[in-house]
Amino acid sequence: MNDPHVHRSLQEAKVPRHVAFIMDGNGRWAKNRGLPRSFGHASGAKRVRSVVEHAIDRGIPFVTLFAFSSENWRRPMEEVSTLMSLFVLYLEKEVKDMNSNGVRLKVIGDLSRFDARLQKLIAQAEAVTAHHTRVTLTVAANFGGRWDLVQAMGRWQAAHEGAPATDMTEAALQPFFSMAYAPDPDLLVRTGGESRVSNFLLWQMAYTEMYFTDVLWPDFTPDEFDRALAWFVETDRRFGGVSQKVSD
Name the residues annotated as catalytic.
24, 72
Contact residue for ligand FPP among 14, 17, 28, 132 (CB under 6 A): 28
Strand arrangement of the beta sheet that strand 103-108 belongs to: 103-108, 135-143, 62-69, 18-22, 187-190, 209-212
Contact residue for ligand FPP among 19, 39, 41, 177 (CB under 6 A): 41
> DSSP character for 117?
H
Residue 125 binds ligand FPP, judged by CB under 6 A: no
Q: Which of 63, 64, 110, 68 is nearest to 87 (CA)?
A: 68
Contact residue for ligand FPP among 144, 178, 192, 224 (CB under 6 A): 192
Question: Residue 71, Cα to own-chain centre: how many angstroms?
Answer: 16
Please work out the total of residues on this chain that contact ligand FPP, with binding judged by CB under 6 A.
Answer: 20
> 29-37: long-range contacts at Cβ-Cβ below 8 A with a sequence spacing of 24 or more?
29/216, 29/217, 29/218, 29/219, 32/216, 37/79, 37/82
Site string for ligand FPP, 42-81 (x = CB under 6 A): --xx--x----------------x-x----x---------
Contact residue for ligand FPP among 16, 25, 109, 144 (CB under 6 A): 25
| Least distance between ligand FPP and beta carbon 201 (Å) | 16
CA distance 87 to 89: 5
Residue 82 binds ligand FPP, judged by CB under 6 A: no
Nearer to ligand FPP, 139 or 189 (CB): 139
Nearer to ligand FPP, 66 or 176 (CB): 66
